[in-house]
Amino acid sequence: MRIACPFCGERESGEFTYLGDASPKRPNFAVDSVAGPEPAEDAFYDYVYLRDNVAGVMREYWYHGGGCRSWLIAERNTVTHEFGSVTAAPGAGATKLAQAGE
């Protein structure tokens, strides 16, 4: 499996660590805790435990630990293992620098 790191170019998958589905979003604690602990726990339960686990194209997190240490968001088909776009996480260092330079 080869992953096209936007910073380092195409690299072997062994350089990367997989985290999983990139669609769950961490709940905003301040907002969700207004009504007591239950809604917050429900929201975090969804975020931490429940997965669509799609058979098909999935957006997922990969960490280029053996390279630039960037977190990447890759589109990959879980049935064919084919990659689509690979983009840097919003806070990946070089992304920020690039934005700063613009």
Partner 1 sequence: MSGYSGSEPLSRTAALDANASGRAAPVSQSHRLRSGGLIDRQSPLQFSFDGKTMTGYAGDTLASALVANGVKLVARSFKYHRPRGIMTAGSEEPSALVEMRTGARREPNTRATTAELYDRLMANSQNRWPSLRRDFMSINSLLAPIFVAGFYYKTFMWPAKFWETVYEPMIRRAAGLGKSAELPDPDHYDKAWAHCDVLVVGGGSAGLSAALAAGRAGARVILCEEDSRVGGRLLSDGGDIDGMHAADWLRRATDELASLPNVRVMTRTALFGVYDGGVYAALERVNDHVAVPGPHQVRQRVWRIVARRSVVTAGAIERPIVFPGNDRPGVMMASAVRTYVNRFAAMPGRRVALFTNNDDGWRTVEAIQRAGGEIAAVVDPRGRAPAKYQAVAGLRDVRVLTGGVSDVKRGVDGVRSIVVTGRNGLTQQIEADCLAVSGGWNPNVGLSCFHRGKPVWRDAIAAFVPGDAPRGMTTAGAANGEFSLGACLRDGHAAGVAAAAECGAAGNAGEAAEACDDIYAISPLWQVKAKGKAFVDFQHDVTASDVTLAQREGFESVEHLKRYTTLGMATDQGKTSNVNGLAIMAEATGRTIPETGTTIYRPPYAPVAIGALAGHHRDENFHAWRLTPSHHWAAELGAVFVDTGLWKRAQWYPKPGEKDWLESVTREVLSVRNSVGFCDVSTLGKVDVLGPDAGTFLDRVYINTFSSLAVGKARYGLMLREDGIVMDDGTTSRLAEDHYFLTTTTAKAGPVMQHLEFCRQVLWPDLDVQLTSATDQWAQFSIAGPKTRDLLQAVIEPSEDLSNEGFPFMGAREVKLRGGIVARLFRISFSGEMAFEMSVPACYGEALARNLMIAGKPFGVTPYGTEALGVMRIEKGHVAGPELNGTTTADDLGLGKMMSKKKDFIGRVMAGREALTAPNRQVVVGVKPVDPVRRLRSGAHVVPKGVIPGPETDQGYVTSVCFSPVLAQWIGLALVERGRGRFGEIVRIHDPLRSEDYEAEICNPVFYDPEGVRQRG
Partner 2 sequence: MKYSIFSLAKAALSGHKGWTRAWRDPAPKNHYDVVIIGGGGHGLATAYFLAREYGIRNVAVLEKGWIGSGNAGRNTTIIRSNYGLPGNTGFYELSMKLWERMEQDLNYNAMVSQRGIINLYHSDAQRDAFARRGNTMRINGIDAELLDAAQIRKELPFLNYDSARFPIMGGLAQRRAGTARHDAVVWGYARAADQRGVDIIQNCEVTGFTRINGRISGVETTRGTISAGKVGMAVAGNTSRVAAMAGMKLPIESHVLQAFVSEAIKPLIPGVITFGAGHFYISQSDKGGLVFGGDLDGYNSYAQRGNMPVVEDVCEGGMAVMPMIGRVRMLRQWGGIMDMSMDGTPIIDKTPIDGLYLNAGWCYGGFKATPASGLAFAHLLARDEPHSEAALFRLDRFRRGAMIDEKGQGAQPNLH
> For residues 54 and 94, which CB has a smaller minimum distance to partner 1 in the complex?
94
- Output the 3-class SS for 5-20: ECCCEEEEHHHCEEEE
Residues binding partner 1: number (CB under 8 A)? 37
30-89: which residues touch partner 2 (CB under 8 A)? 41-42, 45, 48-55, 58, 60, 76, 78-81
Contact 15, 66 (CB under 8 A): yes
Rounded to an integer, what distance in angstroms lies between the CA atom of residue 15 and that of residue 62? 10
Can you tell me whether residue 84 is helix, strand or coil? strand
In angstroms, give the least distance from the CB of 75 to partner 1: 14
Binding partner selected for residue 58 from partner 2, partner 1, none, CB under the kind-specific 5 to 8 Å limit: partner 2
